[in-house]
Amino acid sequence: MNANYRTAGFKGYAVKFSPFSDQLLAAATSANFGLVGNGRLCILRPGPASLAPQKHYDTQDGLFDISWSEAHENQLVTASGDGSIKL
């Protein structure tokens, strides 16, 4: 099955599957190709024909990388365009 999801207004930079669930993935995105503007962390689940959004978290700067915690199933670390990392 080929599944897809469009992040309207944002371009994707990283996609990672959860190490705890093969039915959960996260996508790091940035507006305006990461040059200026906001970012969004998208939590997605595979659906029958496409990926279904579970939750969105907007940020003040673009997101360029993500990593799931290997110790806690509900934690992610993001890397922003301003050089910060957030848990």
Residue with tokens 């790091």: 28
pLDDT tens by residue, 21-67? 989 999 999 999 888 889 999 999 988 888 899 999 999 999 999 99
Give pLDDT, residue 63: 95
Residue with tokens 């890397």: 79
Give pLDDT, residue 56: 93
Record the pTM: 0.88
